[in-house]
Amino acid sequence: MFIRLIRTDFKRIRYLLLPLFLCTAVLGASFAALAAFTEKVIYQDSSPEPVRVGVVMSIDSEYGKLAYHFVTEMESYQNTCEFVTLESEEAGREMLQKEQLQAVIVVPDNILSDIIDGTNTPVTVLYREDGSLETYAANEVFVSTSSMLGTSQAAIYTALKLGRNLELSPDLQARVNTEVNTLFFNYVLTRTALFDKTEVHATGLYPVRDFYIAAGFLLLLSMLGILFLSLLKNNAAAYIKKLKLSGISAVQAGISQWLTITATLYGIYLLLYTVAVIVSSAVSTHFLSFHTMALPAGLPVCACIALITVLIGKIPVSQAAASMILLIVVFLLAYTGGCLVPEALLPAFLKPVCTYSPYYHMIQLLCNSMF
């Protein structure tokens, strides 16, 4: 009888397929649009602009080229600055006044040879008077880098001085000189990455768009639960009575409904995922790539949503009231689970309970498997 009941529940679902597909299409399109523009709709696009820095130096000389190359390739500078080569200090000052630059570095031609020789040659840095936060950050980078280069320079000079004090032969001193300079180029300058660039998202490990694509899947499947309420609610008392007389308890009937809804939701999930991957490969943004793990990951998610739906369907209220309750419960669980607003942005009192929401684990599972 239980198998016949499951088969019958599937037959009943058959009549829900059209509204299910229509709802999936409408909600899917809405959530996809929302996810695509989430960063601009929900979060302001506030990526900091790089600090425009003018560099005045002679890049004609071999050492000048090398110095310019090292400075511009330093990760610390790459992450914070945009370099513009200038012909003269005057041109730099003029651009500073016109607010086209935020800083100008005047590098002496002989900077590298001076470093190697142990000569303390200052590098001049000019700032705009109305120094902004970015200017301040750039200054910190310059100071830190100068400090590091100064220390390195002292170390090189010490090594060379040591060679002279030990009265090494000129050949040996020349060899030490070359070795130390090689070490300086290879190991010191490459380690001046004072500021590593790490992207930190409010949505945790995943970029905002990826996170909300997974959230869209989750919310869409949850909302489809409303359609399944007709399967749970449109049962005459006589039907339930007859099931009982046939040896089917309310729990068994619930299990049959849960299995049916889970299977249907999973079918929709697979379809939706396939369509999303195909659309993604067709457009330039490639918002979703195919991952095998995303296929099984949908099953526990669908099972959990189906369970919530069935449990709410068992509340002895009308179908309309159950729909409202389902919407409210889904909203609350999704909100507290950091599905609507990321966990990091939740109010402090909700953060401790975040992990207790099934939606927290479902969104993590989907994100882990989809991206």
Interacting residues toward another protein by CB under 8 A: 1, 4-5, 7-8, 11-12, 15, 234-239, 241-242, 244-246
Can you tell me the distance from the alpha carbon of 101 to that of 4, in angstroms, rounded to the nearest whole number? 77
Can you tell me the distance from the alpha carbon of 178 to that of 188, in angstroms, rounded to the nearest whole number? 15
CA dihedral 262, 266, 267, 271 (to 10 degrees): 160
SS3 at position 53? strand
Can you tell me the distance from the alpha carbon of 138 to that of 132, in angstroms, rounded to the nearest whole number? 10
Closest distance of CB 272 from another protein, Å: 25
Residue 132 tokens read as 């902004």
Can you tell me the distance from the alpha carbon of 23 to that of 32, in angstroms, rounded to the nearest whole number? 14
Closest distance of CB 269 from another protein, Å: 24
Q: Under the phi-then-psi rule, with left for phi > 0, alpha for psi from -120 to 50, and beta for the rest, what region is 204?
A: left
The order of strands in the sheet holding 103-106 is 81-86, 51-56, 103-106, 124-127
Q: Which is nearer to another protein, 15 or 37 (CB)?
A: 15
CA nearest to 70, candidates 95, 117, 121, 105? 105
Closest distance of CB 8 from another protein, Å: 5
Measured CA distances, 23 to 20, 272, 278 (Å): 5, 12, 20
Cβ(293)–Cβ(369) under 8 Å?
yes
Q: Which is nearer to another protein, 192 or 257 (CB)?
A: 257
Measured CA distances, 336 to 218, 276, 308, 325, 331 (Å): 14, 27, 15, 16, 8
Q: Which is nearer to another protein, 14 or 191 (CB)?
A: 14
Closest distance of CB 238 from another protein, Å: 4
Cβ(114)–Cβ(121) under 8 Å?
yes
Q: Which is nearer to another protein, 4 or 164 (CB)?
A: 4
Closest distance of CB 236 from another protein, Å: 5
CA nearest to 371, candidates 201, 198, 191? 201
Closest distance of CB 250 from another protein, Å: 13
Q: Which is nearer to another protein, 12 or 314 (CB)?
A: 12
Closest distance of CB 230 from another protein, Å: 8
Closest distance of CB 225 from another protein, Å: 18
Q: Which is nearer to another protein, 57 or 248 (CB)?
A: 248
Closest distance of CB 47 from another protein, Å: 53
Q: Which is nearer to another protein, 5 or 189 (CB)?
A: 5
Can you tell me the distance from the alpha carbon of 102 to that of 89, in angstroms, rounded to the nearest whole number? 14
Q: What phi, psi does 357 have (nearest 5°)?
A: -80, 135
Q: Which is nearer to another protein, 237 or 282 (CB)?
A: 237
Q: Which is nearer to another protein, 5 or 141 (CB)?
A: 5
